Amino acid sequence: MDSSAAAFDWTRRLPARRRRQKHISLNDAAQFSADRETNGWFVSAVGQSWRIGRRSDSGNYELVSGEEPVTFKTMLAAETYLDALLQPPR
């Protein structure tokens, strides 16, 4: 499988229920970081807040904590959090 196809194939590792709900957990994000999967992430404006997510071939998956989306007041705060989240473990 070429690297571009692998970049969007990550959703197969999610439980089927979460693939339908279109979200990823902080634990999923930590695993992506550990696996050095840093491609496909995005920060987007939603109303007056900013959210983090990851793109796949079947859509966008927002980052959630529990059942609530992780939101930020500014784009800079969201980008800073995403950068920290995707740092490989030491």
pLDDT along the chain (90 residues), means of 10: 53 72 86 84 94 88 91 96 83
Q: In 3D, which of 42, 39, 66 has the Cα closest to residue 53? A: 42
pLDDT value of residue 19:
67
Domain ranges of the chain: 3-9+22-85
Please name the amino acid found at residue 35. Answer: D
pLDDT value of residue 1:
40
Run of H or E including 25:
strand 23-25
Q: pTM of whole model > 0.85? A: no
